[in-house]
Amino acid sequence: MSKYWSKAIRNIKPYTPGEQPKDMKYIKLNTNENPYPPSPKAMEAIAKAAGEAGENLRLYPDPTCEELRCAIADYYKLEKQQVFVGNGSDELLAFSFLAFFDSDSPVLFPDITYSFYRVYASLFRTDYREVPLNDDFSIPVEAFFETNGGIIIPNPNAPTGKFLPLRDIESILERNENSVVIIDEAYVDFGGESAVALIEKYPNLLIIQTFSKSRSLAGLRIGMALGNNDLIEGLDRVKNSINSYTLDRIALAAAVQAIKDEKHFEETIRKIINTRERVSKELVQIGFKVIDSRANFIFISHETMHARDIFKRLRDRGILVRYFNEARIDNYLRVSIGTDEEMDSFLKAIREIVI
């Protein structure tokens, strides 16, 4: 503790990303990265964006991110004024706390969810309340009808992978016309359904998505927010009060091509979903409970062996998965879906461990 630290950071418990050990080569199934490379068109765009001798890199990027916002608007049939982009969906979530959440009523989010939400609330001293999920990890929809100063629900939820039907999202939107309701769709492309069609009807809906999962660009840090003009302008005010240029020239250029290349996107998604379904079935056969997932990861628990033990033994075999030492989920593992070869290695190791 330093005497120079602000009160806000003295007692905060920052978010811990999945480990990235460098001691040996691991099969990385712990950070929900995409096992397949991004669109080859994104790669061509990168070379072009820098210029032959890097001469474009000396210039600031477009602070309005016009081209990327238009490409996303085209893809989702929105206006560009309904689209905002930033340095990963994490930055967009942080900006949203600053832009929309300062009511006297608490912000609501599930108790089992992306653990960054409570970190934002703590940093920005936002009052919040965690809504306990049902025992089967489903979202208790009515609990989000209570008085609040904002709502965040990831759909599919993380780390469970469970998907909430759009009719439930819609009833939450209807009952909260004075609150901003953020649907964090980081994983929606892997079999869920985006709430984007509800934007026209609900001015309180903000959707946040990322290029890190379904578009294989985690290494470039690109996120997007979709919602009515008012909300987008709110985010813009925050951005222009923190950092005029949050996305660099390379990321902007790659993202434009990544969103345009629908064929590559759909092929990649299909492969990951197929692998997920196959692995889930095999895990059930060897005694695992597998929560029904619409994400690029699965959340699993074994009938006899504790998750912590499986985690350690997988790690010893060079396979990283994610274990959360937290109430209600401390006997589960979150396993990202890798290539078929990686998942075969995972299954082989799992069979050795649990049998």
Binders of a copy of itself among residues 279 to 338 (CB under 8 A) are none
| Nearest CB to a copy of itself, comparing residues 231 and 350 | 231
What the block records as the tokens of 238 is: 């925050």
CB of residue 165 vs a copy of itself: minimum separation in angstroms?
A: 25
CB 206 within 8 A of CB 215: no
Stretch that binds a copy of itself, among 36-44, 193-201, 272-280, 326-334 (CB under 8 A): 36-44
58-87: contacts with a copy of itself (CB under 8 A): 58-63, 87
CB of residue 88 vs a copy of itself: minimum separation in angstroms?
A: 6
Of the residues 29, 72, 78, 98, which one makes contact with a copy of itself according to CB under 8 A: 98
226-285: contacts with a copy of itself (CB under 8 A): 230-231, 233-234, 236-251, 254
What the block records as the tokens of 127 is: 């009052």
Number of residues that bind a copy of itself (CB under 8 A): 86
Give CA 135 to chain center in angstroms: 23
Torsion angle, alpha carbons of 232, 62, 40, 32, to 10: -40
| Nearest CB to a copy of itself, comparing residues 120 and 128 | 120
| Nearest CB to a copy of itself, comparing residues 62 and 193 | 62
Of the residues 26, 56, 75, 340, which one makes contact with a copy of itself according to CB under 8 A: 56
Contact call for residue 6 and a copy of itself (CB under 8 A): yes
Burial of 12 (0-12, 13-18, 19+ CB in 10 A): middle
Contact call for residue 54 and a copy of itself (CB under 8 A): yes
102-141: contacts with a copy of itself (CB under 8 A): 102, 119-120, 122-123
CB of residue 279 vs a copy of itself: minimum separation in angstroms?
A: 19
User: Distances from the Cα of 274 to the Cαs of 2, 190, 217, 296, 313, in angstroms?
Assistant: 51, 10, 21, 11, 26
Site string for a copy of itself, 174-203 (x = CB under 8 A): ----x-x----------------------x
Contact call for residue 47 and a copy of itself (CB under 8 A): yes
